[in-house]
Structures are given as structure tokens and as C-alpha cells.
A = this chain, B = another copy of it.
Amino acid sequence: MVKVGIVGSTGYAGEELVRLLLNHKEVDIKWLYSQSYVGEEYSRVFGSYFKIVDDTCVGGDIEELSREVDLIFTATPQGYCSGIVNEELLKQVKIVDLSADFRIKDIDVYKEWYKLEHKSPEFIKEAVYGLCEINRDDIREARIVANPGCYTTASILALYPLVKEKIIDLKSIVIDAKSGTSGAGRGTSLANMFCEVNENIKAYGITNHRHTPEIEEQLTYGANEKIIINFTPHLIPMNRGILATSYVNLKGKFSYDDIKKIYVDFYKDDYFVRILDEGIYPETKWVKGSNYVDINFKIDERTNRLVVISAIDNLVKGAAGQAIQNMNLMYGFDEAEGLKLAPVFP
């Protein structure tokens, strides 16, 4: 059994880690760390765990706590994980960080988009970007895995095969993404109150959302050529789910089957990627509660543009599920262990 601790366990992503890990055969949750709820019963914070989880939220010194576990998940705001990582800690534990601290290799890009000094830049290089479908081998050996963002997961997986095969104009990428509200976290804010979100849709972070450089960096690796994109997220009145609609210009003529083959070949070994049948497009309800990413596309013959649709559950493949998938790789477990649950509908 791998012993794990969860920092940020009282946020939505942290809670989802608990839900999924309870179903994992090889994991033992040792402690649930929380900034805001130290000393409170976890099942008071989330009534769902009454009679299921007996733990009380812990706080305090992370180094001390690290001695009880093999791996720590940090489901925390940016700046936390980079503040605790050091060689001592890494001798004790592996880390899967769900924040952005180790996602961006270029520290200047991190500073510019996150307006934060990085507290442990010396570990950026060794940290592995934890998009399993892309970096599977490196993840297996990693001590620090930077778990991808939710929008970025949906976006990169939709576009990676296309930029790798260079069948699209790399300057033409536009991603229009829509997210449920759990992506905004459990901190209170007027903007995320029920009456403000319900019966509303809005764009936000237009041209400057922090997931932009993360998508760009990964696609740049895929293309081996600098990629700059347009990314626009939207908030919609639902709890879970991200749908990303990507628009790219095709370089030359392609049939549906040509492009389908590129996707199918690229993802042939990936349990969680589902390239849908022609004419069937992703909907968030078909992935809710699961670790699947659904992808399909359509060629617009009139403009020779490709429209790619991808859907994930932002809390699973976009956060906790992917973190567990990473952990599975790091420990040589079946990559899908604990994650074989079918989507929950309706």
C-alpha cells in the first residue's frame, strides 16, 4: 500500500482525490491537510463522508507529516508547493502538485503570468509535466509531477496530434473553452454565488488566462516550433465539466478519415482518451465523474478550418483523476487503477 497525504484536502480537487482514492486498491490515505479546517472532522466539511471517512483535518509542519507518507498530493493555490519542496522533503516523498508551480519550464513566463516569485526554481527542471498521454515514461521516474490544469488538459489533448503532425497552421489556433463552476474552487466570492452564476454565461480572463502559456509550452514541444494561441475561457452554470472548442486552419486537403487516423494512432495506447465515432461530438455529461477525455472534430469544407471538440470532467481528468493516473505510473500500478468508474449520468 502506498501511503499518501493530501494538502488542500478541503477544496473541490482535494475532496475529489479522497472520493477516488477510497476506491483505489493500493492506496492508504494517512492524513488530510487543510489550511482552513484544522481540527475539524472531515465529514463535517463534506457531509458525504459521514461514516466513511473518520479523519480530522490536520495542519502544521509538512516536513514532519511527510515522514508518515510515501507521496503527497498538493491541491493548493499557486506558490504553496514551490514553498515546501526541498531535497529533504523529496528524500521522504514523491509529490504530485495540482497547482501551476512546476508546470511552466520558463521561470520568466511563470512570473509574468502568475505575478509570483518562484520559491524553488532549482526543482523546475526535474519536475515532469504530468500529462500521462504525452509524458508517460518520464512520469514513471519522476519525484515531482506537475499535474496539468483543467483547461490545459482538454486543450492540449485535443490539439497535440495535430501540431505534432503539422497538418495545421500553427499560428491559427483559437481555443474557446467553457467550464463548470467547480473549476473556480471552493473559496467564497460574489462572482461564484449561485444567483450570479445561474442563468448566466460570461467570458473571463480574455487573452490573459493563466492556462494560456501552459497550453502553448506543451504544444510547442509537440510541434517543435514556437506556438502562440488565443485562449478564452467561459463560466457556465453547471458544477462539473469542461468543453473546449478549438479552431485551426488546415494546411492542405484532408478527409475525416485522414485526421481520424492521426488521432487514433496517437492515442492507441491510451485508456482514457476516446476518439468518438464520426458525427458524434463530445458532451460533458458523458464524461462526468470519470477520467475520460472525449474528442472528435469536423472539417469545415467551406473554410478548410478544423473544429475540434474535447470534453473532460474538470475535477477528474482535469485534476484529481489525472493526479491519481500520475501516481499509478509513478508506482507501476495499472494506469487506470481506481479510475475505472463509468461516468455518472444524469
Contacts and interface: CB of A to CB of B under 8 A. Distances in A.
Given A50-B274, A201-B283, A201-B284, A346 B196 contact: yes
Contact of A237 (B192, B229, B238): B238
A189 interface: yes
Interface stretch (A1-9, A41-49, A91-99): A41-49
B198 A283 contact: no
Nearest to A20: B342
A344 B284 contact: no
A282 B202 contact: yes
Interface residues of A, number: 85
B283 A243 contact: no
Of the listed residues A239, A286, A289, the one surrounded by the most CB atoms of chain B closer than 10 A to its CB is A239
A193 B181 CA distance: 9
Nearest to A172: B172
Contacts of A196: 194, 285, 346
A303 B228 contact: yes
Given A201-B284, A287-B48, A346 B178 contact: no
20 contacts: A19-B342, A23-B341, A47-B285, A48-B285, A50-B276, A174-B247, A186-B195, A188-B189, A195-B346, A199-B284, A199-B346, A200-B238, A201-B236, A206-B298, A206-B309, A207-B299, A232-B247, A236-B236, A236-B237, A239-B346
A157 to B, nearest CB: 15
A15 B196 CA distance: 14
Nearest to A201: B243
Kindly report how many copies of this chain are found in the complex they form together: 4
Contacts of A241: 199-201
Given A203-B309, A245-B234, A188 B193 contact: yes
B345 A344 contact: no
A56 to B, nearest CB: 14
Given A48-B286, A195-B12, A239-B195, A344 B19 contact: yes
Interface in A193-224: 193-204, 206-207
Given A51-B274, A199-B239, A245-B232, A46 B344 contact: no
Contacts of A207: 298-302, 307
Nearest to A49: B342
Contacts of A303: 171, 228-230
A17 to B, nearest CB: 12
A48 B174 contact: no
Given A51-B274, A176-B245, A198-B239, 17 more contacts: A48-B285, A48-B286, A48-B345, A49-B342, A50-B277, A178-B178, A181-B193, A194-B196, A195-B239, A199-B199, A199-B238, A200-B285, A201-B238, A202-B283, A228-B303, A230-B303, A236-B238
Contact of A281 (B198, B199, B206, B346): B206
Interface in A95-112: none
A46 B280 CA distance: 12
A301 B207 CA distance: 8
A120 interface: no
A260 interface: no
